[in-house]
Chains A and B, each alone.
Chain A
């Protein structure tokens, strides 16, 4: 147990040194580190509870994604059946399927063939899964099209990816520093912005879907009449910003997706804040066609299903440019421009969890953590010295290297350090000492039982190491479970505890033994000084 070949000793020391070196970048500011090579830049990230900042957990409205998918299928069914000139009735969205009834039985097979083109094979991680995106069944001329679960999951995943991109753009427009935007689970996104004190504006910007449509106002009825009876099949009732009702066609003439630029400005005549916009060539063409065909009629600018304004088309707009006015304040116009530039979210986002920590609390937490760490370490070091004397010194050296290695590993992982994380490190110091205590107490026993000094030390190590392994593994299992079951700061605790256990196992099996081995070799003791 006490024999270390020169190679083995060197390997152990070098490994420990290498890991500890990874902790070095933490002592330098970001500017200095930026000049080092990539692999040397990894450092511990301070959690928001230590740094101060805001964290928002956003949920993608999967219901809206489903509805949109069904609507798309519905539109496709209409298009395909009309193209094929197949008469049908009763086209409707019921539950999570689209139903349509084919009038002539003879057409059914043809209809199914045509509609079958809508269904595509789904691919998973390992190639095609064998599932199709759309399940099509038929009974007595009634065709039911149901998007499969796999298709929904895929669509949700795409929606989350798209949302992350758009959030990234919006957050950048706000000029926020180093935001972190990540997927969390299947349908959630975690946005973390260090240093942000008041996330109110951020929440407003992220809360709006910003779906912009240009549609015609339906003049066949007044809104009041339409509310009394049913609105016509292809129109719907929408409200304006002050609650006034409009009857708007469902058909979208041009959508915000074709916008190429949007900027806030002021109306030349009235000086009220407005948003100037510009379409790409497709959008410009559609806009030109729509305005040419509808001179003299009002068209509605709809934002997130609310009518912003409904001006009358005075002349055809061929240049693809225009302005939106709707009683905006300067801030509202500016925000709308940001939203339009960044693009519309594929589905609405709801904030399900929010966490903001001010810098004052962050600083206090760091100070408290540091103080507790120093006092705790000091007490432990003192106690070990008093109880085990020289061997206590060895143990203290081993534990110090242990803590340095913990920081090294955390740096390598780029892990986040939270206040519970610091508590985890302090706790690990106490637990790491246990390994050494087990060894030393065993050595004492062996001495009492009559062994010579070197044999006692050797036997102490041999007997104790199995126990050390067993006891540490059980704590490690607890830490691992905590990592999976927890989130945020608790995860930080699980990480430091787990890493601490691994490094303390390493130092118990190597460091203490190494120090002891060299001491024995150099001093050749007759008696054990504990």
Chain B
């Protein structure tokens, strides 16, 4: 039975060559994303800015949006939003936070209910008062930051500090670009978005760690291979696994995106962007080359450019299949100690 091989064996792409392009591109995209955040802003949901969300389904056919807008406008509840939500008879109404503290939010809901009476079924009513919304925002942001820091420490513990820093930079890069995406597409930014961002953090690190693990193994095995070539070998070796996994996760997400319904649409869309970005770009073109700039493997022959050592070294290495079990030794310092002699 012929099996599907998306990635042929023994690929030899020179990924590291592109770092001269990928770094500037990423820098520019990050700046664009950050300016989008400040100038275009995020579409903050009621979880973070307070307010009321009412999803109604008109009982008598498709909704007359203009009429509904007029009805709500007459209630004088501030700058409200009204839009179709997934089906012609499904309408989402969003009312901003009313002045007057938590009690005022309740009054607003009552007014809306009274205005529409029995002509609609209320699919969903969500009210978030000012005290809770400020909390959720701070918890969400703190959560995101503490996750990144916690993972940084874990990586520092398992690998060396350059790896931890490299992973964190790649991670922050992913988050910045995803936030830029969210700003551009104006998706709802609420608690589920924080969940999506945190999942992207986890997934991005998952991917980076797999490549770093291979790099670490290569560093121990091939003590003389220059960094760019070593990184290329590592990435090429893990390429098959990466593609298969990314395709699998993308398929799960695609199913969620297409069939999961409107309620989690913003969540799945964000996740899809993050996962695709991570899978195809960041781990290979940012997280790996950055190790060169962070000084991993300095002291190796040709610390930079020419891939002199022939790939025959890889074949030679394969004859001795026993690699020492992962010891707490620190390969970089051992290498430096050797070259100092």
List A residues at the B interface (Cβ < 8 Å): 49, 57, 59, 197-198, 200, 203, 350-358, 360-361, 364-365, 368-369, 371-373, 375-376, 379-380, 383-384, 386-389, 419-420, 423, 426-427, 429-431, 433-434, 437-438, 441, 444-446, 448-451, 455, 459, 466-467, 470-479, 481-482, 484-490, 493-494, 497, 529-530
CA distance A379 to B206 in the complex (A): 22
B106 interfacial by beta-carbon distance below 8 Å:
yes
> If A437-B241, A477-B147, A486-B143 touch, does A353 touch B256 (CB 8 Å cutoff)?
no
> If A387-B3, A387-B244, A473-B154 touch, does A467 touch B256 (CB 8 Å cutoff)?
no
List B residues at the A interface (Cβ < 8 Å): 1, 3-6, 9-10, 55, 57, 101-103, 105-106, 109-110, 113, 121-129, 131-132, 136, 139-140, 142-144, 146-147, 150-151, 154-155, 158, 191-192, 194-195, 198-199, 201-203, 205-207, 209-210, 213-214, 237-238, 240-241, 244-245, 247-249, 251-256, 258-261, 263-264, 267-268, 271, 318-319, 321, 326
CA distance A327 to B201 in the complex (A): 61
Contact at B158–A356, with CB atoms within 8 Å?
Answer: no
Contact at A441–B251, with CB atoms within 8 Å?
Answer: no
CA distance A474 to B195 in the complex (A): 15
Chain A contacts for B209, CB-based, 8 A: 467, 470-471, 474
Task: Choose from A355, A431, A459 the contact partner of B249 (Cβ within 8 Å).
Answer: A431
CA distance A349 to B237 in the complex (A): 61
Contact at B249–A427, with CB atoms within 8 Å?
Answer: yes
Return the chain A residue nearest B131 by Cβ. A352
Return the chain B residue nearest A447 by Cβ. B9
Task: Choose from B102, B121, B191, B321 the contact partner of A488 (Cβ within 8 Å).
Answer: B191
> Which of B109, B192, B206, B319 has most A Cβ within 10 Å?
B206
Chain A contacts for B244, CB-based, 8 A: 387, 437, 441
> If A438-B241, A478-B199, A486-B139 touch, does A380 touch B248 (CB 8 Å cutoff)?
yes
Contact at A360–B123, with CB atoms within 8 Å?
Answer: yes
Chain A contacts for B129, CB-based, 8 A: 350-353
> If A431-B203, A470-B158, A471-B210 touch, does A486 touch B191 (CB 8 Å cutoff)?
yes
Contact at A197–B122, with CB atoms within 8 Å?
Answer: yes
Identify whether the interface residues of A are mostly helix, strand, loop, or mixed. Answer: helix
- A200 CB to closest chain B CB (Å) equals 7
- B303 CB to closest chain A CB (Å) equals 27
Task: Choose from B122, B206, B321 the contact partner of A451 (Cβ within 8 Å).
Answer: B321
CA distance A479 to B194 in the complex (A): 11
CA distance A47 to B140 in the complex (A): 21
Contact at A431–B206, with CB atoms within 8 Å?
Answer: yes
CA distance A476 to B201 in the complex (A): 11
Contact at A361–B55, with CB atoms within 8 Å?
Answer: yes
Contact at A375–B259, with CB atoms within 8 Å?
Answer: yes
- A271 CB to closest chain B CB (Å) equals 30
Chain A contacts for B147, CB-based, 8 A: 477-478, 481-482
CA distance A466 to B217 in the complex (A): 12
Contact at A354–B127, with CB atoms within 8 Å?
Answer: yes
CA distance A486 to B125 in the complex (A): 20
Chain B contacts for A198, CB-based, 8 A: 113, 122
Return the chain A residue nearest B46 by Cβ. A353
Task: Choose from A369, A433, A489 the contact partner of B192 (Cβ within 8 Å).
Answer: A489
Task: Choose from B105, B124, B131, B213 the contact partner of A467 (Cβ within 8 Å).
Answer: B213
- B41 CB to closest chain A CB (Å) equals 22
Chain B contacts for A351, CB-based, 8 A: 102-103, 105-106, 127, 129
Chain B contacts for A426, CB-based, 8 A: 252-253, 255-256
Task: Choose from B55, B132, B264 the contact partner of A420 (Cβ within 8 Å).
Answer: B264
Return the chain A residue nearest B142 by Cβ. A485
Contact at B213–A477, with CB atoms within 8 Å?
Answer: no
Contacts A/B (CB < 8 Å), 29 sampled: A198-B113, A350-B101, A352-B132, A354-B105, A354-B125, A355-B127, A364-B261, A380-B248, A383-B248, A383-B251, A430-B251, A433-B245, A434-B245, A437-B245, A445-B237, A448-B9, A451-B321, A466-B326, A467-B210, A471-B206, A473-B154, A475-B199, A475-B203, A481-B147, A482-B199, A485-B142, A485-B146, A490-B192, A490-B194
Contact at A466–B143, with CB atoms within 8 Å?
Answer: no
Contact at A379–B125, with CB atoms within 8 Å?
Answer: no
> Which of B106, B126, B199 has most A Cβ within 10 Å?
B199
Contact at A380–B252, with CB atoms within 8 Å?
Answer: yes
Task: Choose from B113, B122, B154, B205 the contact partner of A358 (Cβ within 8 Å).
Answer: B122
Contact at B113–A200, with CB atoms within 8 Å?
Answer: yes
